Chain A
Amino acid sequence: MPELTNHGMQCHEFDSLLADALDNVLSGATLDRFQAHARACPACGPLFAEAEAGRNWLKELTEVEPPVSLVDNILASTSGVDTQRLRVHVSTERRPISGLERVQAWLSNAMQPIWDTVRQPRFAMSFGMAFFSLSVALSVAGVKPSELRQISLRPTAIRHTYYNAQARVVRYYENIRLVYAFEASVRGLKRNLRPAEPGPAKPQQKERKNDTTQQPEQKQERNYSQFDNRIILACTPLGPSVNDLPVVSVTTYRRFV
């Protein structure tokens, strides 16, 4: 729009006053200057006429009637209430809201996002898995939920339970010790009944003869295992004759692993 100055008014000023002029709120000198500019300006004059015509066209538009089901649909999609029932309820009585109801409404609004999150499938699956794991662990441990009700929490009962548990543990370890002792005696008997084992093979000792790095170990082994499986005859020098005395043979098994 060209910025013309006609009768003391510029085009941008005319534009800002145009809406007020159409609302008939201009008066006095401002109205005179406005009308003079509209008559003289080749751009603003037609603009005023078009704006006025457009406003008159818009008066032809009447208010449209919304669909009958709109209110019911809105209520169903928001509060989810039964409109017909509500209308009857509203027409008969309108009771004040109690404090408890307000607290309930507030809690419901506050908990709604949390509840929405918890209701998601992944959280439900996690909760299910946790419950399953817990039930498996309890069944493996021998805990039965039905027995938990029968537990007495009186001090004497707790003490009695403690002593019982302690006695059970002691008995258990005593039994284990008895089993170990029995096993040891059986193993000793087997060892006595078995014939003597042959000694280590000679070639191995020859191979290791020049190996000086293992010498101290070999020496130690030689010292302690030199007379392995050798029969030692014990005899007493006293007595009438050596041939008359009984011969006692003792076999010793010395093993150093």
Chain B
Amino acid sequence: MEDVQVVAMLVRRCVAGDAAAWEEIVQTYNRRIYNICYRFAGSGDDAEDLTQEVFIKMYRTLSSYDASKGAFVTWVTTITRNLLVDHFRKTKQDRITDSIDTAPSEHDDAQPLSEQIQDQSAAPDAHVRSREVGETVHAALGKLSPELREAVILRDLQDMDYREIATVLKVPEGTVKSRINRGRAELARLLQRTYRQVM
């Protein structure tokens, strides 16, 4: 996936103060980090702020990266995950424990999940329908517990292998697999329940 030598050289140039190398890193990884943040936080604005925070943290701790201990992408994902967990803990008090019928984010046009599924059959365009299904699944993903959500995001959305996920989450591979299974099953149950309400 990534050439270890090239990335290590890029990091060394960054630490030496090469601004162009830093921009190359930002250009390469901003999309990935933004997607992880967006799927975990559920909001585009939050994802943008969190992505910036991740890069600020990376910029400050770049010299501590050791290529012999693991891939750079794993290191970046670990930073992202830790920051997301911190953010989740900080906003825990503010978060409302709403039901699946509440609007999850501004990307859903303030529509409850059940209404989005109801509109699904009425949508004439396949592209629009696919987008709406995606938003529905995204809203359901936000209902999962953080432990299950992060495991599912890293496996099914970021295509990371179990060993890398175990490194990022600091848990054994067996636990990672178990969380992924439970996360997928819980997501399916949430969506089935919503469909039954619509039908």
Contacts and interface: CB of A to CB of B under 8 A. Distances in A.
Contacts of B181: 15, 18-19, 47, 51
A60 interface: yes
A108 interface: yes
B55 interface: yes
A87 B20 CA distance: 8
Interface stretch (A33-41, A71-79, A192-200, A216-224): A71-79
A62 B141 CA distance: 13
B188 A57 contact: yes
A101 B20 CA distance: 14
Interface string A92-118: 001001000110111011000000000
B177 A19 contact: yes
Contact of A18 (B20, B35, B177, B191): B177
Nearest to B18: A97
A90 interface: yes
Contacts of B55: 74, 77-78
Contact of A73 (B52, B59, B140): B52
A11 B12 CA distance: 49
B104 interface: no
A214 to B, nearest CB: 87
Nearest to B158: A63
Interface stretch (B23-31, B67-75, B79-87, B91-99): B23-31
Given A78-B59, A79-B22, A66 B185 contact: no
Contact of A54 (B52, B174, B187): B187
Contacts of B157: 58, 61
Given A71-B26, A90-B20, A58 B38 contact: no
Interface residues of A, number: 47
Nearest to B162: A19
A16 interface: yes
A55 interface: yes
Interface of B: 13, 16-20, 22-23, 26-27, 30-31, 34-35, 38-39, 44, 47-48, 51-52, 55-56, 59, 63, 130, 133-134, 137-138, 140-141, 152, 156-157, 162, 174, 177-178, 180-181, 183-189, 191-192
B115 to A, nearest CB: 18
Contacts of B31: 63, 65-66
A51 B16 contact: no
Contacts of A109: 17, 63
B76 to A, nearest CB: 13
Question: Which 7 pairs from chain A and chain B are nearest by CB?
Answer: A54-B184, A105-B17, A50-B185, A54-B188, A53-B188, A66-B34, A19-B177
A64 B186 CA distance: 23
A255 B26 CA distance: 101
Contacts of A89: 20
B177 to A, nearest CB: 4
A167 to B, nearest CB: 62
Given A54-B184, A55-B184, A58-B184, A66 B27 contact: no
A71 B30 contact: yes
Nearest to B14: A79
A50 B190 CA distance: 10
A19 B180 CA distance: 8
B106 to A, nearest CB: 13
